[in-house]
Structure 1
Amino acid sequence: MKPRKGRRGGARQSAPLSQETIVTAALHILDHEGPQRLSMRRLAKELSITPMALYHHVRDRHELLLLLVASRSRDRARPALPDDPRERLLAAAELLHDTLAEYPFLSEILASPDLLAMSALWIMEALLDAAVECGLTLEEAAQAHHAIWHFTVGVLLIRTTSRRHHAGLTRPTQREQVFATLSPDAFPRLTSLAGRWSSLTARNTHREALEDIVEGLLGEHPTHPGEHA
């Protein structure tokens, strides 16, 4: 399909339309205008094509975002992980969190079953390998990965949603308003923490929580450090 000549204000499309050229244009919008401006209509304008032509190559915005994750992850350097299997498991789990946290549109696709497969298969392999070396069976390692993935997704969803909500807020939150009305007799623990709740829950405790989760998942399983290739 030959693209039409560029419209005024849009990017001139000189190469044949493909997912690669679509991703390049989408990244340009994302980097220069922000995720809130990245729509299928805006992308079609950037490529100087009709939205209908764009849908022949990308099904919807959801698929477009997954393609962007895959594109940015493809050339990402793979850092060396610790030799100790328990530390390697923790490092891989942290890397999963840090990798996903880089994407400003993440809250839209975190629950997608396609996300991990497209962006971090090698991290998934590292998690499974480390868990097996820590003494888990492969099936138990899969469950450990599942638990770590759900915890990480939950942390990121809450954080990104909270930041977006608080960005335009000019009044106390509903929680703060409710806490201010609580009776110390009925809610002694909550009222004692009310003034510090926001600062306490705003702390990034992902690593500490991961250590607790991994400790619970591994229990007293003996490690097998010699198995790592």
Structure 2
Amino acid sequence: MVDRKDPQDVPAPPWRKSRRPAQARRQLSQELIVETGLRILDAEGFDVLSMRRVAQELDTGPASLYAHVSGKEELLELIYDRVLSEIRLPEPDPARWKEQLREYAVEMHDVFRAHADVARAALANIPTGENSLRAGEFTYGLLIAAGMSPREASLAMDRLTLYLVGDAYEGSVHYARMRAAGMSDPAEYFESFVAQIVSYYGGLPTDRFPNLAKHVDELTASDGEDRFHYGLELLLDGIEARMPKP
């Protein structure tokens, strides 16, 4: 009787390419789709993100994603809300409202910087997710508890949020330009960008634009962080000026 051996016991010939071990496919879920979308957004930018690109990354077809996410618009909302989950919120203290708003704004600024293109997702949609609502409740409730009327607090919260998102959006535009130029070092990109501004403004006709031409060094002296904090203090001082006096 012939002893039949397991075919796997026979060594493969040296000229045959070795097979890569099969990767177990992860179970599709909304969480997995959102995490994959965020990874693509961070690595490749807003313009590359699509349902088809996410499906490609997950080694599946786009149709299989729609059981968990209705389309790109909802995916962007979910990605934005996922990013906002990284913001740490303190217990509201109305006596320290200005300090707490400053800390909240800086925290959001840092989170946006870590996910450069996510601000474009914020501008494209009205945030309604759990973490978006959590951030809104903190800001709105803190201002009301500090003495602002609900109407004025709503306006202050709206303008502060728009400033934070707008500042992050400007940064995302620069990152897109940096990628398009084939550059990977932000410091190198911004040095080149500022040099172009200095050259252009410095060459303006001084009879028509005397201040822009003369003070070009002052116009370009502050970096993005300095400008962000300056604008934030302007907003906070403005809110403080409208806060009812004790």
* Structure 2 residue ranges without an equivalent (≥5): 1-19, 182-188
Q: Would you say the 8 A contact 1:92–1:126 is kept in 2? A: no
Q: Give yes or no for the alignment of 1:221 onto 2:233.
A: no
* Structure 1 residue ranges without an equivalent (≥5): 1-7, 225-229
The answer for the alignment partner of 1:4 in structure 2 is: none
Deviations for 1:37-64, whole angstroms, at most 9, x for unmatched residues?
6432232133332222223432333322
Displacement of 1:103 after TM fit?
Answer: 1.9
Distance in 1, matches of 2:26 and 2:103, equals 43
TM-score by length of 2: 0.68
Q: Give yes or no for the alignment of 1:206 onto 2:228.
A: yes
Q: Would you say the 8 A contact 2:88–2:107 is kept in 1? A: no
The answer for the alignment partner of 1:129 in structure 2 is: 141
The answer for the alignment partner of 2:118 in structure 1 is: 106
The answer for the alignment partner of 1:57 in structure 2 is: 68
The answer for the alignment partner of 2:155 in structure 1 is: 143
Count of aligned positions: 215
Cα distance change, pair 174–24 in 1 and its aligned pair in 2 (3 A): closer
Displacement of 1:205 after TM fit?
Answer: 2.6
Q: Give yes or no for the alignment of 1:155 onto 2:167.
A: yes
The structure 1 residue matched to 2:201, chosen from 133, 158, 179, is: 179
Which shifted more, 140-149 or 120-129?
120-129
The structure 2 residue matched to 1:18, chosen from 21, 26, 29, is: 29
SS at match of 1:115: coil
What does residue range 2-81 of structure 1 map to in structure 2 within 5 Å? Answer: 12-15=24-27, 17-26=28-37, 29=40, 34-35=44-45, 38-74=49-85, 77-79=88-90
Distance in 1, matches of 2:207 and 2:22, equals 63
The answer for the alignment partner of 2:6 in structure 1 is: none
Q: Which amino acid aligns with 2:149?
A: T
Q: Which amino acid aligns with 1:138?
A: P
Q: Would you say the 8 A contact 2:119–2:166 is kept in 1? A: no
The answer for the alignment partner of 1:193 in structure 2 is: 215
Deviations for 1:158-189, whole angstroms, at most 9, x for unmatched residues?
12212432452778887555424311222111
Distance in 2, matches of 1:200 and 1:51, equals 45
Distance in 1, matches of 2:59 and 2:178, equals 36
The answer for the alignment partner of 2:12 in structure 1 is: none
